[in-house]
Structure 1
């Protein structure tokens, strides 16, 4: 459910969750996500959450998790990662997400990514059945459409064999050195999650590049909605000869949501699957990636 501050939060949210327990106890899971408001919004009653409002939503959800656990033996309701970032609260421990049933709704993505990146999980959780990933709107062809339409991303290739977790990276000849400094391109929320993880590596040559979303504006900060125009602006001020890693979640058949493609960017980028295992491998081995999942599946 999407929570709009001043509309269906507070007592209304409490009543809604009480109704779920009373009338829909068989419900598998429920995601509580904040309203996304772009700069194109013309409805004055719709606005982003404040930090205090986000903290109240988190507390409300966590209170109801205790009640659902007592009554049903499972938490059932989860607050989106975005709420914890907005409130400045630490994320719940990984086992609190009960096998991440709502991963693609932005529930537990940060903890899952951390576990993948640090090696606690040896494979990425990857796509599961669901309506959308952690984006405000899925691409027209669906978020399961191939991220790359085949060919090269000017940086290398990744070959997927069998299950999504079985990934073999294949290096190819490129113009940027493997040991060059690395910039990880990500949205505002991704930067909050990635920065402490990257800092823990103790590698001076690796940095997080936060890409401000001016295309959508407002409080849109998810990596899945990064567009070519914003990436082009961010990369134009970055030095040449560095490696730039780009999560594949912002691509649909090799194109960004604004219609631009990788060739429109001023720097070579390496498209990396959007999970901690792939990012760790890219940083560790210096292997260039391009997603040719479509070719591997044919």
Structure 2
């Protein structure tokens, strides 16, 4: 890997220096570059010497530039990591990568545990593979915030869950981040009967005692696919257990709101949907601090949709649509589908797809595969349908599903107009404009 340039902003420092897509940035002021963090910090100087190799012939250029200290270089790199991504040294009992079959997108099999990606892109890390040099770099550059997979603050239990002796150091490591002034967003992958109940209660107490260093705590349910042969036995969450967790989180939220002015801890949408409890109001998520973790996705989607439709007085051009989603996705969409039918007079065919690929215990829309959606649509006529709506979260940026089937391949096989919907605003625009 290297600092390969993907794009150069016209008129930027990099553009004036002669950089082009495909060139490789080698050093700034004589300092070799490990990652985008180095680029950001080293390029903050007002006088720079940029060393880079030209993509077409490998010729080395060295260019001196002057700039304002806050002016960026104006380049985007192919990858934010220029050496090697740090891989996970744990053997977590719940690791979803270990539960995936062959044949998926290559990137899905990578177990990264890289503190640099935690700072740059919000990836969660366990802190178990940090060297002293890593710690000093975090402290020197003050890489904040960091996203940490805590799971439990019980040293012995965390060591058991992660199957790594260094996992027991979590309290000391969090305290070191606190001393360095690093803000932390925490994740707890919660397993019923393992790190739930009283164990979770103590974990939340320990993390709350570190506020405001700890800025948020997300509790997400363990995901269990059908490919768990030879792995640790873990039980899925039941509706009654999910209901108990929701009550526990609600109680702690009230406590923390009174103590700190923030709810601090949030449960993933899956818990509310499984427990058949109402989704909390959008404002209770306080800006959606852990949206990528499934914390508040439903509330945000609903809020966006109804806010976008609030002043709509025109006629909806859609007459009939098919909505494809997962079991929990169907629950999340209930008030919106009711609105489409009753307020906009759209005929909505709801098709709930059971996840045959990963197993029926996987009930979230974002893990639906192309082949499961294809199986639902094959043999079905799309005549009279304005569109087939599918979860946008099931696709990556290249419009490929987890099983590597592309959206265009799916459309060609079923001869339907398929519209991925990724937000409430997107759905509202479709309802207004077709």
TM-score (norm 2): 0.50
How many residues are treated as equivalent by the alignment?
A: 231
Q: 1:272 to 1:229 in 2, by over 3 A?
A: closer
Q: Alignment RMSD, CA only?
A: 2.0
Residue 414 of structure 2: aligned partner: 266
CA–CA separation in structure 2 for the residues paired with 1:25 and 1:3: 23
Residue 120 of structure 1, CA deviation: 5.8
Residues 198 and 207, structure 1, Cα contact 8 Å, conserved in 2: no
* Cα drift, residue 180 of structure 1: 5.2
Q: Deviations over 1:43-68 (max 9, x none)?
A: 46312111111011111111111121
Give the stretch that moved more between structures: 247-256 or 81-90: 247-256
Unaligned runs of 5+ in 2: 1-187, 311-316
Q: What is the aligned partner in structure 2 of residue 250 from structure 1?
A: 394
- TM-superposed deviation, 1:200: 2.2
Cα distance, 1:23–1:277 mapped onto 2, change above 3 Å:
closer
Q: Residues of 1 paired with 2:294 and 2:363: CA distance?
A: 13
Structure having the larger proportion of residues in helix: 2
Find the structure with the greater CA-based Rg. Answer: 2
Give, in angstroms, the shift of residue 108 of structure 1: 1.1
Whether contact under 8 Å (2:308, 2:425) holds in the other structure is no
- Mapping 1:1-298, distance limit 5 Å: 1-42=188-229, 43=231, 45-119=233-307, 179=318, 181-201=320-340, 202=342, 203-241=345-383, 242=385, 243-252=387-396, 253-262=398-407, 263-264=409-410, 265-286=413-434
**Deviation (angstroms), 1:80:** 0.7
Native 8 Å contact 1:194 1:208 kept in 2: no
Residues 236 and 195 (structure 1), Cα distance of their counterparts in 2 relative to 1, 3 Å cut: farther
Instruction: Go from structure 1 to structure 2 and tell me whether the alpha carbon gap of 1:60 and 1:104 turns closer, same or farther (over 3 Å shift).
Output: same
| Larger strand share, 1 or 2 | 2
C-alpha displacement at 1:24, in angstroms?
A: 4.8
SS at match of 2:215: coil
Unaligned runs of 5+ in 1: 123-177, 287-298
Change (3 A) 1:119 1:84: same
SS, match of residue 271 in structure 1: strand
SS at match of 1:244: strand
Aligned-pair distance for 1:207?
2.7
SS of the residue aligned with 1:196? helix
Q: What per-residue deviation string (whole Å, max 9, x for no partner) do you get for residues 203-248 of structure 1? A: 2512322121110114212221111110111111432222212233
Greater shift after overlay, 80-89 or 99-108?
99-108
1:109-136 residue CA offsets vs partner (Å, 9 max, x unmatched): 11111111112699xxxxxxxxxxxxxx
1:283 CA displacement: 2.6
Higher mean C-alpha displacement, 189-198 vs 9-18? 189-198
Change (3 A) 1:85 1:65: same
- Secondary structure of 2:401's counterpart equals coil
